Structure 1
Amino acid sequence: MENKKITTSLVAGLLLATNLFSQELSTITIVSATKSEQSIKDITSNVDVITKQDIEERHFTSVIDALNSLPGITFTSNGGIGSTVSLNLRGSSNNRTLILIDGVKFKDHSSISGTDISSLMVTDIERIEVIKGAQSGIWGADAAAGVINIITKDAKDGFHGFVSTEVGSFDTHKFATQLSYKNEDFDLKFDAQKIESDSFSSQAIRNQYLDVLENDEYDNTTLSLKGNYYINDSAKLNFSVVDIDSLKAYDSSGPNDVLMKNDSNTKIYNLGFEQKYKNHNISFSLEKTKTKRDQQGTTWGVKLTDNETTNVELSDTISYFDNDFLLLGMGAGKDEMDYTKADRTSNFASNKTKYFYATNSNSFGDLILTESLRYDAFDNFDNKLTGKVGAKYNLTSDFSLFANAGTSYSVPLLINNINPWGSTNFNIEPETSKSYDIGFEYEDFKFTYFYQKVDDLIDWYDPTPLNYFNNDAIYINQDGTSKFEGVEISYKRNFLDDFLLSLSYTRLSAKNKDNQYLARRPKDDFKFGLDYYGFKDLHLNINGEYIGDRFEQLDKKGTQTGRYTVWNAVANYTLTKDVTTFLKVENMFDKYYQVVDGYASSPRSVTVGLKYSF
């Protein structure tokens, strides 16, 4: 369980002992594990949570920064802020992890490695829920490795808001504001954020100084509007709109490429209705995500992409007995994508699905059991029946055992089908997978063993790799089974009244069908943090990460990109009850490293910020 004692008041934080810290953990509510609100202590799934306190104290800039604080999650990035990022959850790549924003699917079929979340900045997040392991029995496609749900804050009673500003290295500026209002009839919340940064060169020869290269600047404007209309005490309408507009310069032909820019716009819409009647909680939602990209400056390959994902869903959570419920749901979805190449040729593809699901959860004293089953009917693939079972047994108030097993699948990205770099293939089948995890929690210590096998892996195949004029390369299903297994260990504990220690360790083995270690996955990942609350109004934090062996190519070949430690520090100071400030230093020992060979990572950077709340 990945949580943290609440420290909005630093003075009050000094009085929190370990027993109160443990009580605080049990108050967190999770919605992504079963699509129903449950206390985290009643969840059988393997769950990590990043709370608003974690975010506010560590001052993460992007969602990537926040997620990278958790065990079992690593990233590869092609440069600085806004550059293309690939997420690995327990070694599985982006396309096997479902990304949600307030429960709405965030899917981009134009990125060959899966949905790119590089432009998701931290705005006003309540928490981020990470549900690990096979989740297709609940969420359907693309949840083989897990689900990440980014949940934004709701409006509070009355009129509230804040304005904040930050300045930092690489001529980085950030401005954010929020306004919210809530009464007994409705609530409304508006957020706006602007980030501009000169950043640094995306590409760099290893050990090359970045100050001799051109900068690949980044610009991001994120706007969101969220509200509820309370029809009566048991019914409400809700809606949300998110608009993310970003422009990222990047390198294609070399470190000093000044032509290439990725101009991206994402819009996420949600309209919902909830009705409580006796022991029923009925919910209806209509969701749409649209992403458009323009690769400015390109003279070959893909120029424009246009993605659209639509989903409509109806569900009913039926409560029975004291802590038991049955969730029944049905819905339909559609994914569409088209591209236009620099030579003005184009193509189009789409997927449609209809689905039904059921989840049941029971408490038998100290034993909690959860079962999920889902059926998806596709227009392009064979229909899929997936399921998940989970169990948690509380031996004592401090010690519990848990286990989960499930089946999942990941549909091919539409860019895999229409493949603008070679031959099209509309006969690709979804990847299928089975996974389980087992572990225990004792007080603030958590141990998990996980295992996943993936069949029919979708991969790039070039029958004539030495013939550059023969466009016969294709995406196909590879025969055989890829395997991901390892352990996750985490520990979080108050000691000496004023300190909070956070530690996590992940040991990973990720191998393909030929028993070769997959590239760009670290074998060992150790993350640490130490908070000190012994000064009035001042909170200090040191955190960092050690990456063990990691290689650029299959089977431990190519450049070694691991074996380094990065240290960071944060200082938060409360000027008044309404005004706070902070200082953040990242990579404070100026360690030179590259996560991806040939692509730069950030040298030491410093950020200062000021926030006024009302």
Structure 2
Amino acid sequence: MFKPTLSLVVCASLVASVEAREITLEPIIVSASKTQQPLKNITANVEVITSEELEEQHYTTLVEALNSLSGISITSNGGVGTTQEVFVRGMDTNKVLVLINGIRYQDPSNTSGANFAHLLISDIEQIELIKGSQSGIWGADASAGVINIITKSAEAGTHTGANVEYGSFATTKWGAFISHKTDKYDFKIALDRLMSNSFTAQAPKWEDINQYENDPYSNTTLNLNAHYRPTSEDTFGISYTDINALGNYDSYQSPDSLERSDIRTHLYGATYDRAYQNHTLSTKANLSKFRRDELDTTYGVKVFNGQTREVELRDHFRYSESDFIVAGLSKEWNDIDFTQADSTTGEKSVSSEAVFVTNSNTFGDLILTESLRRDNYSSFNAKTTGKIGAKYTFSEDMYVGGNYGTSYTAPNLIQMFNPWGSSNDTLSPENTKSYDLTLGYQSITLTYFENRVKDLIEWYDPTPLNWFNSDPYYKNLNGISTFKGYELSFRHNLLDSLVFNADYTHLSRFVDKDGKDLKRRPKREAKISLNYYGTEQLNMGVNAHYVGTRYDEANQQGEQTGRYTLFNFVLNYNLTDSIQLYGKIDNLTDKYYQSVDGYASSPRGYYAGMKVVF
């Protein structure tokens, strides 16, 4: 049976409404402090999407799933597989650290860092969104927060499964897995394939997108993980993710042009954990490799290659029943190389070493955490960052929590080299200070947040009107950019068979150093869902997403791209214990909108599928 699940918000335990329905849910475990802890014991501001929720909603991409959370705003340059920006509390994509099974998904050859466009919902156990400055724990690029994606591991015995879906725009999605687990070892292999004719990436606003050529997309994602336990104290693990995608897009203001990107990503991970008395010693070695071929370009960069290697040693020491410390050392190497359309090449490398420590104490109803980290870089000065958090539980119905942290976003290697203009080896990290305060009462959670970013890295063209003599480059801007606002969440059960969720995010300030509003951030955003669980076989849900006023250019200039509401519908029917049938309708009212001016968005789409697990 598919049971109702909730998006759990803000360092809290399961809400009281779940207990009212007499549903027994296992405690959710998260990794906000580089170690596994129950969600109720976390001081950080965390939201979790579980595998049950992913399977009920039948999201296709990670961005679709993230868009169900408070504090998240999305823009897209077309349909599936095109460029997508993920703003966390108004902060840019490059300030969000993305991990897949603990492996960094940040591409040093991509100015935006993590490329969200090619992340499918592929055999995922859990998605964790940890908001606020997290560099004191995770290092660079975690100024807005961390998105931690954990794929599924094998369950006891041998299991197989498959799923298939077909729908609008000739979209076909299928997947299969096989797993096996004993006391000594386990493994799981999962393969997912997505193919879609999609629709044109570009179209002038209000024009019929069907008059332009389609921009198809295909993606094959493979996930593998395995563990070997020679003794009860020792565990060896490996993981591998392969993403192979081919996407079409349009040249600027050319809806009928042909441009293609061939994407290949490999993520390798190896771990060893040793339990000894009150210690758990962990080592890991990770390798992330990224390649992007712009197959049809005749100018600029044609081939991008990025690589990140990381090794880490840490110890989780529990010095009392409810108190622990996590301490460790790590080293990281980042490399890029590229080939221009005229066959010229370039390459650049940087390395860093880090030492980090996190301490957590529980004093009755009070939980305190402190983190400190120092990173030494070969290309700029060392960075010391930290974080403190507290949570106090007054009763079963009420708690208060808060966090303060410092973070930094390291200059990307491709920004420093800058094959589109002049290089700038003097780039320094962006520096962020953030805090949030949370009050939880019964089914309601209210969070106030504020982030201040200094030395923002921006594209700068000294002679923008002279295309031949200009020499643009990336540079640090003096001044402070400010992001602040609040998030309001409500989780409640209506009667015995209805679950109501609502999230509201208000960005009261999202300005650059001159006090001008930054582009493409909605001031207000609301997300509401109502799920009905009528029988053990049937459940259905509808969700609504409102986007408030949003401008395509800074300082409230350019096209207004907000002020619309989207509705989606999903229905699940469990034919047997092993077979599930489902259908969904995206953009139920066929609303016309553009999240980026001149780039098309999906009209109403119909999809149906089946999932079989043995």
User: What is the TM-score normalised by the length of structure 2?
Assistant: 0.96
1:113 Cα deviation from its structure 2 partner: 2.7
Q: 1:367 maps to which residue?
A: 366
Pairing 1:75-224 to 2, within 5 Å after superposition: 75-224=74-223
Output the amino acid matched with 2:598: G
Output the amino acid matched with 1:498: S
1:23 Cα deviation from its structure 2 partner: 7.9
Confirm whether residue 546 of structure 1 aligns to residue 546 of structure 2. Answer: yes
Q: How far apart are the structure 2 equivalents of 1:481 and 1:428?
A: 16
Q: Which runs of 5+ in 1 are unaligned?
A: 8-15
Q: How far apart are the structure 2 equivalents of 1:363 and 1:476?
A: 44
Q: How many residues align?
A: 603
Q: 1:308 maps to which residue?
A: 307
Seen in structure 2, the aligned counterparts of structure 1 residues 105 and 23 have a Cα distance that, compared at 3 Å, is farther
1:482-534 CA-partner distances (Å, limit 9, x unpaired): 00000011111112101000100000121000000000000000001000112
Output the amino acid matched with 1:429: S
Q: How far apart are the structure 1 equivalents of 2:145 and 2:472?
A: 30
1:253 Cα deviation from its structure 2 partner: 4.5
Q: 1:591 maps to which residue?
A: 591
Output the amino acid matched with 2:480: T
Q: How far apart are the structure 1 equivalents of 2:160 and 2:17?
A: 32
1:53 Cα deviation from its structure 2 partner: 1.2
Q: 1:531 maps to which residue?
A: 531
Output the amino acid matched with 1:606: Y
Seen in structure 2, the aligned counterparts of structure 1 residues 49 and 4 have a Cα distance that, compared at 3 Å, is farther
Output the amino acid matched with 2:518: L
Q: 2:515 maps to which residue?
A: 515
Seen in structure 2, the aligned counterparts of structure 1 residues 28 and 351 have a Cα distance that, compared at 3 Å, is same
Output the amino acid matched with 2:74: F
Conserved? CA contact 1:26–1:40, under 8 Å: no
Q: How far apart are the structure 1 equivalents of 2:110 and 2:590?
A: 32
Q: How far apart are the structure 1 equivalents of 2:22 and 2:117?
A: 34
Could you say what secondary structure the match of 1:118 adopts?
helix
Q: 2:13 maps to which residue?
A: none
Q: How far apart are the structure 2 equivalents of 1:443 and 1:187?
A: 40
Pairing 1:556-595 to 2, within 5 Å after superposition: 556-595=556-595
Conserved? CA contact 1:289–1:310, under 8 Å: yes
1:367-420 CA-partner distances (Å, limit 9, x unpaired): 000000001010001001100000000000221100000000000111111112
1:17 Cα deviation from its structure 2 partner: 6.2
Q: Which runs of 5+ in 2 are unaligned?
A: 8-15
Output the amino acid matched with 1:541: G
1:554-580 CA-partner distances (Å, limit 9, x unpaired): 111110000000000000001111110
Q: How far apart are the structure 1 equivalents of 2:579 and 2:200?
A: 35
Q: 1:65 maps to which residue?
A: 64
Output the amino acid matched with 2:29: T
Conserved? CA contact 2:21–2:496, under 8 Å: no
Q: How far apart are the structure 2 equivalents of 1:160 and 1:442?
A: 42
Q: 1:610 maps to which residue?
A: 610
Could you say what secondary structure the match of 2:555 adopts?
helix
Could you say what secondary structure the match of 2:64 adopts?
helix
Could you say what secondary structure the match of 1:337 adopts?
strand
Could you say what secondary structure the match of 1:335 adopts?
strand
Pairing 1:176-575 to 2, within 5 Å after superposition: 176-508=175-507, 509-575=509-575
1:95 Cα deviation from its structure 2 partner: 1.2
1:328-375 CA-partner distances (Å, limit 9, x unpaired): 110100111111111112211222100000000000000000000001
Q: How far apart are the structure 1 equivalents of 2:168 and 2:376?
A: 51
Seen in structure 2, the aligned counterparts of structure 1 residues 20 and 102 have a Cα distance that, compared at 3 Å, is farther
Q: What is the aligned-residue identity percentage?
A: 44
1:112 Cα deviation from its structure 2 partner: 2.2
Could you say what secondary structure the match of 1:95 adopts?
helix
Q: How far apart are the structure 1 equivalents of 2:104 and 2:522?
A: 28
Output the amino acid matched with 1:539: N
Q: How far apart are the structure 1 equivalents of 2:265 and 2:204?
A: 33
1:20 Cα deviation from its structure 2 partner: 5.0
Seen in structure 2, the aligned counterparts of structure 1 residues 201 and 339 have a Cα distance that, compared at 3 Å, is same
Could you say what secondary structure the match of 1:491 adopts?
strand
- RMSD of aligned residue pairs (Cα, Å): 1.5
Q: 1:13 maps to which residue?
A: none
Could you say what secondary structure the match of 1:233 adopts?
coil
Q: How far apart are the structure 2 equivalents of 1:299 and 1:267?
A: 27
Q: How far apart are the structure 2 equivalents of 1:17 and 1:550?
A: 35
